[in-house]
Amino acid sequence: MTIKAGERMPAGTLKRMTKDGPKDVTTDELFKGKTVVLFSVPGAFTPTCDAKHLPGFVQLADQIHAKGVDTIACMAVNDVFVMNAWGKASGVGDKIVMLADGNGEYAKALGLELDGKKVGMGTRGQRFAIVVKDGVAKTVEVEEPGQFKVSAAEYVLGRL
């Protein structure tokens, strides 16, 4: 079942790169006592994700944080090394936390997995943005197939 606004975010573990190497990040660590914008892309370095989605959040990060958001996190069903390389190539610095959902388990727990087998991508996560306050989804915006509107940084910022 797909997560809905007002529901508690499911428990799970993602990975992020640190100066000491890959580190597990639990959803409790990510969400507890914080306001978080979690956005998901189907894949690092893929056309819309790389040209528009991630760059939009990098460009508007200061404005999003000014609205009371503690963390902006980008999630994709990619490994932690790919997410780290994409973050570096995109110049995210400390503006965006790059989270790897390597096996797609968290996307599935959210009910937001995507079957990309027809295009050689296997199981991925859908394109979405969720505003989370202290572990509860306040808004859940899931893109229609082939669309890029409601998960864009501009749209999320306008709804904060």
Q: In this predicted model, what pLDDT tens digit does every residue of 62-92 receive, in sequence order?
A: 999 999 999 999 999 999 999 999 999 999 9
Measure the CA–CA gap between 141 and 149, rounded to whole angstroms. 9
Task: State how far the alpha carbon of 59 is from the alpha carbons of 29, 71, 96, in Å.
Answer: 25, 15, 11
Question: Is 6 within a domain?
Answer: no
pLDDT of 121 higher than 80: no
Q: In this predicted model, what pLDDT tens digit does every residue of 21-54 receive, in sequence order?
A: 999 999 999 999 999 999 999 988 887 777 789 9
Question: Is 128 within a domain?
Answer: yes
Active site residues: 49
Concatenated DSSP letters of 50-114: IIIIHHHHHHHHHHHHHTT--EEEEEESS-HHHHHHHHHHTT-TTTSEEEE-TTSHHHHHTT-EE
Q: Could you identify the residue written with the tokens 């998960």?
A: 151
> Residue 65 belongs to what domain range?
13-159
pTM recorded for the entire structure: 0.94
Report the domain count for the chain: 1
Question: Is 5 within a domain?
Answer: no
Question: Is 2 within a domain?
Answer: no
Q: What is the pLDDT of residue 3?
A: 97
Query: Do the beta carbons of residue 100 and residue 21 sit within 8 Å?
Result: no
What's 17's domain CATH number?
3.40.30.10
Query: Do the beta carbons of residue 52 and residue 152 sit within 8 Å?
Result: yes
Question: Is 98 within a domain?
Answer: yes
Question: Is 29 within a domain?
Answer: yes
Question: Is 49 within a domain?
Answer: yes
Q: What is the pLDDT of residue 40?
A: 96
Instruction: Compute how many other C-beta atoms are within 10 angstroms of the C-beta atom of residue 38.
Output: 25
The top-scoring range by mean pLDDT among 30-34, 111-115, 118-122, 144-148 is: 30-34
Q: What is the pLDDT of residue 146?
A: 85
Question: Is 109 within a domain?
Answer: yes
